[in-house]
Amino acid sequence: MSIDILRILPVDLRGVLSEISKGFEDTLEEINVRVNKPVILRVGGENGPSEIVTDYVVGQGNIKEMLGFISNFSMYAYEEEVREGYITIKGGHRVGISGKIVMDDEKVKTIKNISSINIRVARQIKGCADEIINNLMINGFENTLIISPPCKGKTTLLREMVRLLSDRYNYKLGLVDERGEIAACHMGIPQNDVGIRTDVMDGCKKDKGITMLVRSMSPEIVAVDELGNESDVKAIFMAGSYGRGILATIHGNSVKSVLNKGFMKELDKESFFKKFIVIGDNRMARIFDEKGNCDGKIYRLCGDNCRHNTDGF
């Protein structure tokens, strides 16, 4: 198990989970920690994810201990991230939290009485984008949107596509890594391999980061994870109008469902995105063009050693 994850676990749980997770290091996806409940590990497999229910029952003291480790004993410093419901730790791992929501004028002010913590394990999987990138680059790069529900691999795919566009196709990229999940920067230096021609804006809001990169770093392609509002869309539209290519991700199940979102309709009207990668079950993907045509292929996103099949996509 990653040292970055082990260090935020309760001290007496570190050895237990380290032992239990042996043999699952390459497939561990989530660690679920809930007050008065056993710790549950979620691991990937050939037929989809499965669970390992441990004998370790979590107490309120364990949660407080973890929050201290996660925030370096200063939750106030992570106040903005807490309002979003998660904190990203070193290594790009996302730690989700839930509890009592405190509202202020219809906005989340903070979360207190935290009773659940969900650690989503970040992992760089080199090779997972090889088949897709070869198809997309037949006629050169075109604006591309990656679509998937949560936890299906869109950020992993984005990271690998950034690396390949930089190293294999020699594009100069600007990456906006708002939550630190893609490049996993530490002291400003990417811990994940995102390519030798990639400049990273770490911890910056997407709209601000896009504008700053276009003005200061002259990228040929701008990459961004999880479009979520009108400000994000305006920023990528601006970058596109300056001749920059766009590689982005968004939550969704299909091209139609995504383009029907209110803040996406302007991009749909302008046919801004030319390619869509839709990720389904078992981390399998299909490519669609702007007219909704599919190339008929199914692409694996699990790298060179993947044993998944394409049944049930």
pLDDT of residue 119: 95
229: helix, coil or strand? Answer: coil
CA distance linking residue 84 with residue 70, whole number of Å: 15
Give the DSSP letter string of 248-298: EEEE-SSHHHHHTSGGGHHHHHTT---EEEEE-GGGEEEEEETTS-B-S--
Distance between first and last Cα of the chain: 30
CA distance linking residue 252 with residue 64, whole number of Å: 34
- Encoded tokens for 9: 């676990």
pLDDT of residue 309: 39
Answer whether 0.75 is exceeded by the pTM. yes
218: helix, coil or strand? Answer: coil
What residue type is assigned to position 150 of the chain? Answer: P
Q: Cβ(257)–Cβ(251) under 8 Å?
A: no
**122 DSSP assignment:** P
Q: Cβ(83)–Cβ(76) under 8 Å?
A: no
120: helix, coil or strand? Answer: strand
- Encoded tokens for 252: 């969704």
Angle, CA of 99, 103 and 106, to the nearest 5°:
135
- Encoded tokens for 42: 């979620």
Count of C-beta atoms within a 10 Å radius of residue 4: 17
- Nearest to 300, CA basis, from 182, 160, 184, 169: 160
| Tens digit of pLDDT at every position of the chain (313 positions) | 788 999 999 998 998 888 888 888 788 989 999 999 999 999 987 667 889 999 999 999 999 999 999 998 888 888 888 888 888 888 888 899 999 989 888 788 888 899 999 999 988 888 999 999 999 999 899 999 999 998 788 999 999 999 999 999 999 999 999 988 899 887 788 989 999 999 999 989 999 999 999 999 999 999 999 999 999 999 999 999 999 999 999 999 999 999 999 999 888 888 999 999 999 877 789 999 998 899 889 998 865 544 443 333 3
Domains of the chain: 3-120 (3.30.450), 130-300 (3.40.50.300)
Count of C-beta atoms within a 10 Å radius of residue 55: 8
Q: Cβ(182)–Cβ(92) under 8 Å?
A: yes
**121 DSSP assignment:** P
